[in-house]
Chain A
């Protein structure tokens, strides 16, 4: 049975005439990795700010672990909203000690979390001397203090170089493997696709979609196939009962398979025909396409 970690019910936040969050309802269940996806200004940070008590909602309610929000429940949740925030004149260790004091957690954990994010060697350097990537990593270390059950990351790879992005993503995946519930807000589709199990799509403070990433992408599997005899491959694919559609993409074919069929079936039928292939691999349908479709649909409705 799935356990509800966070239930957001008809949350609304107005800034004057603007509705930053508009009757938004989201349910976050234990053990999943949620991607909250939406363009800049879609209400991601505002929503997270509200459930973390940094922002007051105009109306609506939310419950953590089935209870009305309290200090005790918030100690079970860690979050980084937007940029990493620390006291610039203090060292990493002292900053983490303050976090531990607030969470009423022990200092013993500090070396461990610094090791996890690979900052142990710089633990006594002042925060202001850190690079952006290091700051982001320290923020993740801070989030791990007090063994939270839920982690919330808002745009954790913003402003990082590709190396830094890869590092942060690996870290999040590593943390996710330990069974924590993670909420990751991002405007990067690729990031959500690579890291998350579930996705919630927001636009203008409204929910456009909520569901599993696999369900979004899994309705059709795309397979890349290439080999020395491209003509023969094309002939087989065109005749195959497993294939819905074949497209040629540069030096390979991309076959869209029927639901429930996997790539081994295609491989088998090609081998049976005596055709050798040099490349066969799954290509997930991009979340980006789906996302753009969703946005286009919502624009059609409103216009």
Chain B
């Protein structure tokens, strides 16, 4: 396991594209998290001046609500991580290094396992990044911090980890299926933003929630804000066990399909 991870780490460590995309991901998330609150508040205060009823200053970053808020927003940017995964798996095909890796003595399962381990590490790293940002913002925005407030909603952080992992497993699956980077990235966007949404509306009520990317997206629901409560909307403020199970099942199915594809293909 360690050996496979070491091999995989070497493959990415010397690659500029990897660091650029990873940096971009961190930069985008950092900018949004550190910048968005002041933008929203300025807007709200501005609106409050003219409003007949007083608008309270809102904070997205108070413990414990912060964990759902952050993980929900960060969820939109997991596509960048998926692109990293796609570039790395399809590079192995275009350089033909997958073939050389096998010839040198890696089994096909080892090869797949090394990619899955890397996805696990990226998921863990990105989750850690979010957790640290959450702690910083939480401490600076919560008037009185207690330990239970800090950790009561940490399930969202673990769920975020699962969300990233499952999404990247899906990206890896597409990459192994098509073997070409441009095609795979295009396909991911097409499927994510159009095809699955179309199928969702075509399916009977409730069924669409079991589509693979939809179920990954469902893990963390839209956070409730006071504004939404005014409109009578109420979203789920917890992670449903059923969603977690569905996502696990999908991950296993995709891993199994990748294993089968690799086993049967001529490299």
Residues of A in contact with B (beta carbons under 8 Å apart) = 49, 52-56, 71, 74-75, 78-79, 81, 83, 85-91, 94, 97-99, 101-104, 142
Contact = CB atoms under 8 A, between A and B. Distances in A.
B260 interface: no
Give 7 nearest A-B pairs by CB, closest first: A85-B100, A55-B266, A102-B104, A74-B105, A54-B267, A52-B103, A101-B7
B105 A55 contact: no
A34 to B, nearest CB: 18
A71 B107 contact: yes
A87 B10 CA distance: 10
A104 B97 CA distance: 18
A88 B107 contact: no
A103 B11 contact: no
Contacts of A97: 10
B106 interface: yes
Nearest to B111: A102
Given A79-B103, A88-B95, 14 more contacts: A53-B103, A54-B102, A54-B266, A56-B266, A71-B107, A74-B105, A85-B96, A85-B100, A94-B10, A98-B11, A101-B3, A101-B6, A101-B10, A102-B7
Interface string B83-102: 00000000000011101111
Interface string B8-24: 00110011100000000
A237 B79 CA distance: 84
A122 B99 CA distance: 25
Nearest to A73: B105
Nearest to A142: B104
A280 to B, nearest CB: 47
B-side interface size class: 20 to 34
B10 A85 contact: no
Interface in B10-41: 10-11, 14-16
A49 B100 CA distance: 10
A17 to B, nearest CB: 16
Contacts of A89: 14-16
A54 B99 contact: yes
Nearest to A139: B100
B264 interface: yes
B140 to A, nearest CB: 40
23 contacts: A49-B266, A52-B103, A53-B107, A53-B108, A54-B99, A54-B103, A56-B264, A56-B266, A79-B103, A81-B99, A85-B95, A85-B97, A86-B97, A87-B14, A87-B97, A89-B15, A91-B14, A94-B10, A98-B7, A98-B10, A103-B104, A104-B3, A142-B104
A53 B7 CA distance: 20
Contacts of B267: 49, 54-55
A89 B265 CA distance: 26
A53 B106 CA distance: 10
A102 B97 contact: no
Nearest to A81: B103
Contacts of A101: 3, 6-7, 10
A88 B102 CA distance: 18
Contacts of A71: 105, 107, 110
A88 B107 CA distance: 23
A53 B14 contact: no
Nearest to A88: B95
Nearest to B101: A102
A83 B95 CA distance: 11
Nearest to A13: B266
Contact of A53 (B3, B96, B102): B102
Interface string B206-228: 00000000000000000000000
Contacts of B16: 89
A90 B103 CA distance: 19
Nearest to B100: A85
A53 B15 CA distance: 28
A98 B266 CA distance: 22
A75 B104 CA distance: 7
Contacts of A79: 103
Contacts of B96: 83, 85
Nearest to B4: A101
Contacts of B100: 81, 85-86
B118 to A, nearest CB: 14
B89 to A, nearest CB: 14
